[in-house]
C-alpha cells in the first residue's frame, strides 16, 4: 500500500493507494507532525471482517462502486445499450504535486476510465473533480457521476442540511447522522432556496463543510455505514443531477463533473473563514481588483411597477441625498411590462414609461454621483410577449402538452444556440447603448419540464456577455436566493440572498449564507416598514445596523420615511462606508450567546473589528449576558467604542455613555473571556461595537 500525505496550512490528508487498486482516505484532520508514521495511521484505522460480510470487505473509498459487495451509493451509474455497466475500476496511475493528487482508475473490460483530482487551495479548501472517459467501443450513457466521494471519519456524528422556501432561504436542520442516512436531490433546474448542494458535518465544534459548485440541480447522499462495507464511516457523495440521455459518451469522449469543495475547521467561524478565503482567491472574478462595494438604492420595494421618468428621478435624488452610490432600476422598464404577467423577452426600453428613452434618467443618476444598474431576467419568456409570439417553440415544453407557467412565465431553452444568440444580441445592444455598470440578473421560474444543457447554456451566455463587457458587474438573483453557488459566483460579483428584507429574518438568513460566502457578495438592503413580506414594523436604527453586515443598500422609498429615519439611515450608510474595508476583507466570527434571541457576529481585519449584536425578542433578564468577542490578539489592547447613532431606547440603559464615547481600553483576552455588557432588553435592539488595536 502506498500512503500519500497532502498538507495544507492547517490540515493534513493521508490517502491510501491500496494493492487491490482502490484509493481511500486514511486521515483527514488537523495537520499532523512532520514525522508522523503514516503506516501507523493506516493501521490504527484498519478494520477486520465481520460476520455476514463479503470475505474481502469492500471499502467505498474515494470512488465507491457497486462491486465486491459494496451496497451503498455508487459514485457512477453507467449504461451501455440500456444495460447497467458494473465497473471494477482500479488505480492505473497517479500523479502528485505538492498540494494536489490525481488518480487515474481504469476498467479495461468495461471500457471506462476515471480521473479523480483533489487539490488543496486557498483557505485549505479541498476541491475535487472527476473526468470520466469512454474507452470502450460503444456509446456509454452516464446517468450519475459524483464530483466528490468522501469517507467521513467516524467522529462526525451530526449533519446540518438546509431546507427553505421563497423568502425563507437556507433553514438549518442539525441532527444526528441516522442509520438511514440522508439523501437530497434538487429538481428545480437551479440550486433553489434549500441548497441540496450545501452540507455541514459536525464532530462537536469541529465542522466539515461541503458544496457542489454548480448552478443546476445537485444530489447529495450521506450513507451511514452501509452493511456491505461497514467500517464505521459514513460516506458523503455529491454531484450534478443529470437528465436521462443528457450525457452519452461516444467512444473516446469524456465528461467533466463540476468541482465540489470541502473544508474542515475547528469550529464554524474557522470554517466560514476557510470558505471565504477560497471564494475571495479562487472563485470570484478578479476579486483583488474590486473597488469598494457601492451602496445601492434599488427601485423594487420603492416603486414596484409604478415607474415613470419623474418618479425615478425623484427616487434617484433622494437616494443620492442618503449617500447611495448606485441606482438600480429593477423590473418594469421594458416592453409592455407593467405587471409580472407580461413581456419577458422583449428587452427594449418601454416608450410608454420612458418617452425620452433611458438616457435622461441615467444622465441624472450620473450627475448625482451614482452609477446605474439595471434588472434583467434573460432566461425567461412571458406567453404575452413579442418574443413568444415570434418563437413559441423557444421555451421549455413537451410537444402536445400544456405549458404550465410560474409567475406567469415560461423558461427559454438555454441549450439552443439561437436562444442564446437572441439574448446576447438584446443585452449586448443595451450595454452598448447605455452606460450600465451593473446588471441584476433574475430567474423567477423553476425549469420544467426538465431539459438537458440549461446550466451550460446559462454559463455560456453569461461568459459571452462578460467577455464583451468586462466592466459590468452582475448579481445573481432568483426570487431571492434561488441560484446561489460557487459556479455562478465564478461569473458574478454578488448574490441576492433573499427577497425578505425584514431585519429579523435577515439575522437568520445572513449567518446561514455567510457560513459559505463572504459578506461583500451578500446583498443586504434596508427595506420599508412595515415589511411587505412579513408585515413587521422595525425601527430604522435596527434595520440599518443589520443591513450593514453585507453589501449594503436601500430598497425603500426615502420619501416615505420620516426626516429622523432618513437621518438615521444616512448615518449608517456613512458608517458602512467607513467600515466596509473591514467588513469586506476581514475574518468573520460567529459569536455565541446564551440567549437564543441574541444574534452576534464580528469581522476582524488588520487591527480593526466591527461587531453587530442584535436582540430580537424581549429578554427575560434586565440585560442579556455580556457578549464575548472572538478573533482578537489576547495580549493586544483595543480601544472599544459604540459607534453612534445608538439604538434610541436602549441607550438610556448605558451606565456611562461618556465613557463609551471616549472608548474603553481592554485587552483581547478580557474582551474574549469577560466580554462587554450591552443594554439588550427590548426586542429589536442592535448595537455596533468598534474596536481599534492600540500600538504596543
Residues at the interface with ligand DGJ (CB under 6 A)? 300, 330-331, 340, 375, 442, 444, 477, 479-480, 496, 499
Active-site residue flag, 442: yes
Nearer to ligand DGJ, 147 or 522 (CB): 522
Report the alpha-carbon distance of residue 500 to residue 509 in Å, rounded. 9
- Tell me which residue has its CB nearest to ligand DGJ: 331
Query: What totals of helices (H) and strands (E) does the chain contain, helices first?
Result: 13, 37
Query: What phi, psi does 678 have (nearest 5°)?
Result: -115, 145
Report the alpha-carbon distance of residue 373 to residue 319 in Å, rounded. 14
Give the shortest CB-286-to-ligand DGJ separation in angstroms: 26
Cell of 437: 455598470
Give the shortest CB-337-to-ligand DGJ separation in angstroms: 9
Nearer to ligand DGJ, 107 or 442 (CB): 442
- The answer to whether the beta carbons of residues 671 and 694 sit under 8 Å apart is no
Q: Cis before residue 530, ω within 30 degrees of 0?
A: yes
Strands (E), 455-501: 473-476, 494-495
Spacing of C-alpha 420 from chain mean position: 25
Measured CA distances, 224 to 67, 206, 327, 396 (Å): 18, 19, 50, 38
Cell of 538: 422595525
Give the shortest CB-305-to-ligand DGJ separation in angstroms: 8
Nearer to ligand DGJ, 235 or 298 (CB): 298
Give the shortest CB-524-to-ligand DGJ separation in angstroms: 13
Q: Which residue out of 499, 502, 541, 557 is catalytically annotated?
A: 499
| Cβ neighbours, 10 Å, residue 368 | 17
Give the shortest CB-632-to-ligand DGJ separation in angstroms: 37
Residues 6+ apart with CB under 8 A from 499: 166, 167, 479, 480, 533
| Cβ neighbours, 10 Å, residue 52 | 7
Give the shortest CB-301-to-ligand DGJ separation in angstroms: 8
Active-site residue flag, 205: no
Give the shortest CB-496-to-ligand DGJ separation in angstroms: 6
Cell of 103: 488518480
Burial annotation 372-404 (CB, 10 A radius, 16+ → b, else e): bbbbbbbbbbbbbbebbeebeebbbbeeeeeee
- The answer to whether the beta carbons of residues 106 and 89 sit under 8 Å apart is yes
Nearer to ligand DGJ, 233 or 296 (CB): 296
Nearer to ligand DGJ, 29 or 532 (CB): 532
Q: Which residue out of 330, 442, 485, 557 is catalytically annotated?
A: 442
Nearer to ligand DGJ, 156 or 375 (CB): 375
Nearer to ligand DGJ, 257 or 299 (CB): 299
- Catalytic residue numbers, as ranges: 442, 499
Amino acid at each position: 500500500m502506498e500512503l500519500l500525505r497532502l498538507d495544507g496550512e492547517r490540515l493534513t490528508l493521508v490517502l491510501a493507494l491500496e494493492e487491490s487498486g482502490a484509493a481511500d482516505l486514511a486521515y483527514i484532520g488537523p495537520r499532523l507532525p512532520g514525522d508522523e508514521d503514516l503506516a501507523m495511521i493506516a493501521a490504527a484505522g484498519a478494520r477486520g471482517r465481520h460476520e455476514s460480510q463479503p470475505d474481502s470487505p469492500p471499502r467505498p473509498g474515494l470512488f465507491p462502486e457497486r462491486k465486491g459487495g459494496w451496497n451503498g451509493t455508487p459514485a457512477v451509474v453507467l449504461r451501455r445499450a440500456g444495460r447497467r455497466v458494473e465497473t471494477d475500476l482500479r488505480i492505473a496511475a497517479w500523479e502528485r504535486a505538492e498540494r494536489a493528487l490525481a488518480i487515474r482508475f481504469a476498467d479495461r473490460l468495461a471500457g471506462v476510465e476515471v480521473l479523480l483530482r483533489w487539490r488543496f487551495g486557498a483557505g485549505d479548501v479541498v476541491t475535487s473533480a472527476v473526468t470520466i472517459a469512454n474507452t470502450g467501443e460503444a456509446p456509454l450513457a452516464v446517468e450519475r457521476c459524483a464530483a466528490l466521494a468522501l469517507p467521513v471519519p467516524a467522529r462526525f456524528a451530526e449533519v446540518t442540511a438546509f431546507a427553505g422556501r421563497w423568502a425563507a432561504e437556507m433553514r438549518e436542520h442539525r441532527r444526528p447522522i441516522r442509520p438511514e442516512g440522508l439523501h437530497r436531490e434538487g429538481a428545480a433546474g437551479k440550486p433553489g432556496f434549500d441548497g441540496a448542494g450545501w452540507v455541514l458535518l459536525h464532530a462537536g465544534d469541529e465542522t466539515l463543510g461541503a458544496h457542489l459548485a454548480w448552478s443546476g440541480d445537485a444530489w447529495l447522499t450521506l450513507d451511514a455505514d452501509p452493511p456491505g462495507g461497514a467500517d464505521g464511516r459514513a460516506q458523503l457523495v455529491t454531484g450534478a443531477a443529470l437528465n436521462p440521455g443528457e450525457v452519452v459518451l461516444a467512444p473516446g469522449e469524456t465528461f467533466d463533473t463540476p468541482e465540489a469543495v470541502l473544508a474542515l475547521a475547528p469550529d464554524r467561524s474557522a470554517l466560514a473563514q476557510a470558505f471565504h478565503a477560497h471564494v475571495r482567491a479562487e472563485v470570484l472574478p478578479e476579486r483583488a481588483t474590486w473597488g469598494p462595494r457601492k451602496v445601492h438604492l434599488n427601485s423594487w420595494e420603492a416603486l414596484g411597477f409604478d415607474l415613470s421618468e419623474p418618479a425615478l428621478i425623484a427616487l434617484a435624488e433622494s437616494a443620492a441625498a442618503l449617500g447611495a452610490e448606485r441606482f438600480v432600476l429593477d423590473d418594469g422598464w421594458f416592453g409592455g411590462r407593467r405587471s409580472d404577467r407580461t413581456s419577458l423577452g422583449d428587452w427594449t426600453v418601454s416608450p410608454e414609461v420612458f418617452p425620452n428613452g433611458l438616457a435622461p434618467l441615467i444622465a441624472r443618476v450620473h450627475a448625482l454621483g451614482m452609477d446605474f444598474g439595471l434588472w434583467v431576467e434573460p432566461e425567461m419568456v412571458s406567453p404575452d410577449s413579442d418574443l413568444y409570439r415570434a418563437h413559441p417553440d423557444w421555451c421549455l415544453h413537451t410537444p402536445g402538452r400544456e405549458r404550465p407557467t410560474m409567475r406567469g412565465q415560461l423558461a427559454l431553452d438555454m441549450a439552443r444556440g439561437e436562444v442564446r444568440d437572441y439574448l446576447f444580441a438584446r443585452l449586448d445592444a443595451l450595454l452598448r447603448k447605455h452606460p450600465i455598470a451593473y446588471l441584476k440578473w433574475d430567474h423567477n421560474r423553476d425549469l420544467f419540464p426538465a431539459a438537458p444543457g440549461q446550466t451550460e447554456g446559462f454559463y455560456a451566455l453569461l461568459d459571452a456577455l462578460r467577455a464583451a463587457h468586462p466592466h459590468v458587474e452582475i448579481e445573481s438573483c432568483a426570487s431571492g436566493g434561488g441560484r446561489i453557488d460557487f459556479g455562478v459566483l465564478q461569473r458574478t460579483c454578488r448574490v441576492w440572498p433573499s427577497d425578505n428584507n425584514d431585519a429579523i429574518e435577515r439575522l437568520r438568513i445572513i449567518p446561514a449564507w455567510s457560513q459559505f460566502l463572504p459578506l461583500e457578495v451578500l446583498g443586504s438592503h434596508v427595506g420599508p416598514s412595515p415589511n411587505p413580506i412579513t408585515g413587521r414594523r422595525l425601527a430604522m436604527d435596527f434595520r440599518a445596523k443589520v443591513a450593514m453586515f453585507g453589501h449594503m443598500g436601500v430598497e425603500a422609498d426615502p420619501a416615505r420615511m420620516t426626516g429622523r429615519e432618513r437621518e438615521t439611515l444616512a448615518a449608517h450608510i456613512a458608517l458602512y462606508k467607513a467600515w466596509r474595508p473591514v467588513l469586506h476583507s476581514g475574518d468573520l466570527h460567529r459569536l455565541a450567546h446564551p440567549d437564543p434571541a441574541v444574534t452576534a457576529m464580528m469581522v476582524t481585519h488588520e487591527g480593526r473589528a466591527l461587531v453587530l449584536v442584535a436582540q430580537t425578542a424581549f429578554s427575560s433578564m434586565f440585560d442579556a449576558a455580556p457578549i464575548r468577542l472572538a478573533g482578537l490578539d489576547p495580549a493586544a489592547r483595543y480601544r472599544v467604542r459604540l459607534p453612534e447613532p445608538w439604538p434610541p431606547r436602549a441607550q438610556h440603559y448605558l451606565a456611562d455613555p461618556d465613557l463609551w464615547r471616549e472608548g474603553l481600553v481592554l485587552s483581547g483576552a478580557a474582551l474574549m473571556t469577560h466580554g462587554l455588557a450591552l443594554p439588550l432588553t427590548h426586542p429589536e435592539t442592535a448595537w455596533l461595537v468598534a474596536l481599534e488595536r492600540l500600538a504596543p
